[in-house]
Amino acid sequence: MAAEEDSIRPFEVDVSDEAVADLRERLANARWPDDPPVDGWGYGTDPTYLKTLCEYWREEFDWAAFERRLNRFDQFTTNVDGQRIHFYHVRSPEPDAVPLLLSHGWPGSVAEFLDVLGPLSDPAAHGGDVGDAFHVVAPSLPGYGFSGPTDEPGYDARRIADAFDDLMDRLGYDRYVAQGGDWGALITAILGATRPDRVAAIHANLLFVAPSQFDDPTGMLDEDGMADYRATKAAREGETGYQAIQSTKPQTLAYGLTDSPVGLAAWIVEKFRTWSDCDGDVESSFERDRLLDNLSVYWLTGTINSSIRLYYETEFAKAVPESVDVPTGHARYPVEVSRTPRAWADAVYDIDHWVDMPEGGHFAAMEVPDLFVDDLREFFADHREVDGADAEDDRAA
């Protein structure tokens, strides 16, 4: 029985007609709130935009194309630590490819990586150098999307890091590199701190640091560091209401988001607009279909509850590492919601790559995939001393 649970099973996204009909009926019968006193996004998600998006989702969204996009690359499921894990495993045709673990966050999904899986795994087919190839493993976080809901307490960021390392081992990768944003950045940092024998280097879109570990956190900052500190402080004061409720009463919120696709869309799309480099026009950064790909993953799997529950389960004070001693790369996208001062980062991480990106935001792999891929290639070029070709070909994944 244990061997069966540990097996790696092929997976494809298959949307039933019943699921689509149910979604369309709910969208058609949505009960809308009254409009805010002024137009726009000032009070939250703009009703005019949301009605347009939901009408498109109901009437025009191409579900067959959605399936094709998600099924373009090889997907699998397995069970790790009693939890189903869904993941992409895109093996490179290049024999010297390096294993790369990609971890997403909230309110994204593994669908964020659809535009980078090809260039990272097969650079020669996308105008790149064969020497930059990766074997890419991109899991859905436990509790997210096709990994299905978590069903026991305590599934926090550290436990996810352990599960992902077990997954890489199961795939035959004794040593690998890792990259992440949002929750994925914390998971990646934990892996760097706890698995230096297996993780050769890490790269993150944001760097988690616990300032309380320093005797004088602001006193160690220069002018640029104080600017980062003030910007992040302002963002936390004005943009983290979602985090407060998801960290304290996720179940209460989940009833509405699970029952109403309009509510789910409003809750998630507002974050894509606020956290992207879109100058107020979310569809200038993300195609409408791609926004709905992400929303549809949450809706079809019914995992909004377990995804936000991760905020409740994870105690940041305990989860954030005090020291990460593997080589670390950091890409600072201009509209990232959290900007870690360099002095704090240097005190915790072994920083050897620090780049201010010209554009992009929180969902970089989805918003600016070319910049994302180029930066990973540049950083990991100096950390490719990893025996990436040892995964056994006869393993199912």
**Residue 81 a catalytic site member:** no
Residue 362 token pair: 């929180």
pLDDT of 147 over the 60 cut: yes
* End-to-end Cα separation, the chain, in angstroms: 20
pLDDT of 394 over the 90 cut: no
**Residue 311 a catalytic site member:** yes
Distances from the Cα of 229 to the Cα of 219, 223, 348, angstroms: 11, 10, 16
Kindly write down the DSSP assignment for every residue of 83-121, as one continuous string. Answer: EEEEEEEE--SSTTPEEEEEE--SS--GGGGTTTHHHHH
Cα separation, 13 vs 86, in Å, equals 11
Domains annotated for the chain, with CATH where assigned, are 2-380 (3.40.50.1820)
The residue annotated as part of the active site, out of 165, 182, 277, 375, is 182
Tens digit of pLDDT for each residue in 176-187?
999 999 999 999
Tens digit of pLDDT for each residue in 227-245?
999 999 999 898 999 999 9
Mean pLDDT, residues 32-47 taken together = 96
Backbone phi and psi for residue 136, each to the nearest 5 degrees, phi listed first = -100, 130
The residue annotated as part of the active site, out of 311, 333, 349, 353, is 311
Tens digit of pLDDT for each residue in 312-360?
999 988 999 999 999 999 999 999 999 999 999 999 999 999 999 999 9
pLDDT of 3 over the 60 cut: no
pLDDT of 2 over the 60 cut: no
Q: Are the beta carbons of 364 and 237 closer than 8 angstroms?
A: no
Q: Classify burial at 162, counting beta carbons within 10 Å of its beta carbon; exposed 0-12, middle 13-18, buried 19 or more.
A: middle
Q: For residue 386, what pLDDT band results from cuts at 50, 70 and 90?
A: confident
**Residue 349 a catalytic site member:** no
* Predicted pLDDT at 393: 43
Count other Cβ atoms within 10 Å, centred on residue 267. Answer: 22
- What percent of the chain is predicted at pLDDT more than 90? 93
Q: Helices 261-274 and 250-259, interaxial angle, to 10°?
A: 110
Half-sphere exposure of 22 (CA within 13 A, CB side): 13
pLDDT of 6 over the 70 cut: yes
Angle in degrees, CA 37, 268, 252, rounded to 5: 85
Q: pLDDT averaged over the chain?
A: 95
Q: For residue 389, what pLDDT band results from cuts at 50, 70 and 90?
A: very low
pLDDT of 392 over the 50 cut: no
Q: Taking the model in full, what pTM does it have?
A: 0.95
